[in-house]
């Protein structure tokens, strides 16, 4: 009996030992499989981040190139390096969110399924990235233009000027800890917020151009005073403030009408990249630039021209209001007035060869202002025509633009 029990115990021990070895081998296989899958996930995320960065860079350049075309070469190079770093950081964040969005869906339904909350989150991050780049490029443009215009009074070291400016701009653009709230903030500026943001950006740009802090006397001297009576510092501050007002107005319009178009293109390209292996999936939106690059280039050019027209109209209104010493509240709804004038003037320019660009917009304002004031007799006459919505005024503005921009290049400074 004892011998039988010993044999049974030996068999049981042998089975346990064999079972333990099998379990260890199975555990080793599972661990190896886990590490392999983890490596594949990391490689896939890295590849996705690189793809997103490439797409963002292309679309970002389409947005900012018309803005920074007049920026000096040194500052332009600094700006490109900084934007390249920001694009890489944004691409990693967007790629991670996009991967989570794709993982929550079947590959066959990526493009046909309704927009989920995760997809909206990806779109919001893309829009916010473009909004930040547009705002920063515009601010750097103001800095470069003012520094060049007042070079004798400017006190700027070109070695790191743009990087220093962008570092200081960052807190001004922050929205209470919400990294995705920039668009909402700039699209919904109240009168008080507009004044506060205008003041903050004007002070910041003034300090970077001159190397001095904007004193209260400089700020007050820029309001309601003839330019010939101003101190040089107040003249610079006044110029900066006017440019900032135009920038905020233009940014609000761009965010309302353009940023979603760029974000949709990026998201579509990302989804196509992910589902390229599925034969039945077709691109939801044709890409005319592949078929005919000229058509896409012309569309982009028209959009830039319309954006510059808004700058011309808003600056004309500001010059007229300043000429009659009218304050911001003179118009019933300034934004609606600007938008109406832009839409109606653009309708008359559509189909012509008139191209309003950033390099000729400022000079165009001067000649159009001179023409309409001569036609209506005085700035008050122009102001009344604007308030009444006189269609003849808009027709005359369009005609003036055609006359001056269709003349030989030497007739209007660029």
Rounded to an integer, the average pLDDT of 85-90 is: 90
For residue 243, give the 3-state DSSP assignment: helix
Q: 234-251: per-residue pLDDT in tens?
A: 888 889 999 999 888 888
Cβ contacts of 309 within 8 Å, gap of 6 or more: 342, 345, 346, 349, 356, 401
**Which of 49, 124, 125, 122 has the alpha carbon at shortest distance from 92?**
49
- Residues 344 and 234 reside in one and the same domain: no
Please say if the pLDDT value at position 42 is more than 70: no
pLDDT, greater one: 143 or 358: 143
**Which of 220, 75, 228 has the alpha carbon at shortest distance from 154?**
75
- Residues 265 and 310 reside in one and the same domain: no
The domain boundary residue, chosen from 222, 255, 273: 273
Please say if the pLDDT value at position 124 is more than 60: yes
pLDDT of residue 41: 46
CA atoms within 13 A on the CB side of 112: 7
Task: State percent of the chain over pLDDT 70.
Answer: 67
**Which of 231, 227, 195 has the alpha carbon at shortest distance from 215?**
231
pLDDT of residue 292: 56
156 and 140 Cβ atoms separated by less than 8 Å: no
Rounded to an integer, the average pLDDT of 175-192 is: 74
- In angstroms, the CA 174 to CA 135 distance is 12
- Residues 410 and 323 reside in one and the same domain: yes
335 and 286 Cβ atoms separated by less than 8 Å: no
- Residues 266 and 129 reside in one and the same domain: yes
In a domain, 13, yes or no: no
Evaluated on CA atoms 12, 13, 16, 18, the torsion sign reads negative
Number of domains forming the structure of the chain? 2
- Residues 308 and 380 reside in one and the same domain: yes
Give the CA distances from residue 94 to residues 90, 123, 174, 263, in Å, rounded to whole numbers and listed in that order: 6, 9, 19, 12
The 3-class SS string of 148-166 reads HHCCCCCCCCCCCHHHHHH
Q: 342-357: per-residue pLDDT in tens?
A: 888 888 887 777 777 7
- Residues 45 and 160 reside in one and the same domain: yes
Please say if the pLDDT value at position 142 is more than 90: yes
Using pLDDT thresholds of 50, 70 and 90, give the confidence band for residue 39: very low
- In angstroms, the CA 233 to CA 88 distance is 39
Please say if the pLDDT value at position 112 is more than 70: no
Angle between helices 334-349 and 232-257 (to 10 degrees): 70
Please say if the pLDDT value at position 413 is more than 60: no
- In angstroms, the CA 44 to CA 42 distance is 5
332: which 2 tokens? Answer: 């019933």
The domain boundary residue, chosen from 210, 238, 273: 273
pTM: 0.56
Using pLDDT thresholds of 50, 70 and 90, give the confidence band for residue 205: very high
pLDDT of residue 20: 43
């Amino acid at each position: 009996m004892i011998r039988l029990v010993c044999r049974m115990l030996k068999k049981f021990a042998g089975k346990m030992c064999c079972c333990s070895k099998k379990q260890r081998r199975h555990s080793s296989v599972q661990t190896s499989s886990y590490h392999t899958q983890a490596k594949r996930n990391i490689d896939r995320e890295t590849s996705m981040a690189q793809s997103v960065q490439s797409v963002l860079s292309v679309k970002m350049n389409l947005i900012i190139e018309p803005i920074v075309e007049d920026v000096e070469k040194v500052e332009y190079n600094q700006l490109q390096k900084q934007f390249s770093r920001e694009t890489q950081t944004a691409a990693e964040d967007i790629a991670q969110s996009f991967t989570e969005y794709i993982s929550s869906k079947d590959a066959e339904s990526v493009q046909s399924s309704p927009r989920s909350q995760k997809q909206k989150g990806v779109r919001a991050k893309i829009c916010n990235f473009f909004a930040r780049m547009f705002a920063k490029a515009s601010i750097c443009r103001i800095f470069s233009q003012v520094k060049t215009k007042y070079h004798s009074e400017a006190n700027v070291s070109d070695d790191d000027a743009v990087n220093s400016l962008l570092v200081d701009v960052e807190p001004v653009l922050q929205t209470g800890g919400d990294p995705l709230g920039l668009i909402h903030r700039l699209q919904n500026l109240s009168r008080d917020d507009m004044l506060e943001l205008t003041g903050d950006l004007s002070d910041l740009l003034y300090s970077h151009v001159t190397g001095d802090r904007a004193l209260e006397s400089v700020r007050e001297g820029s309001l309601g005073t003839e330019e010939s009576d101003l101190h040089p510092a107040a003249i610079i501050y006044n110029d900066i403030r006017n440019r900032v007002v135009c920038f905020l107005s233009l940014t609000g319009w761009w965010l309302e009408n353009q940023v979603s178009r760029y974000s949709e293109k990026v998201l579509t390209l990302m989804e196509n990249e992910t589902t390229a292996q599925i034969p039945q999936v077709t691109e939801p939106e044709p890409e005319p630039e592949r078929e005919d690059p000229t058509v896409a280039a012309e569309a982009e050019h028209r959009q830039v021209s319309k954006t510059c027209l808004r700058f011309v109209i808003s600056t004309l209104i500001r010059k007229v209001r300043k000429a009659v010493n009218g304050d911001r509240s003179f118009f019933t709804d300034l934004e609606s007035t600007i938008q109406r004038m832009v839409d109606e003037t653009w309708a008359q320019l559509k189909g012509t060869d008139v191209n309003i660009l950033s390099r000729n917009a400022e000079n165009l304002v001067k000649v159009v202002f001179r023409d309409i004031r001569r036609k209506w007799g005085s700035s008050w006459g122009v102001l009344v025509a604007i308030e009444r919505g006189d269609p003849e005024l808009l027709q005359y503005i369009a005609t003036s633009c055609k006359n001056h921009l269709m003349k030989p290049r030497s007739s209007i400074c660029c």
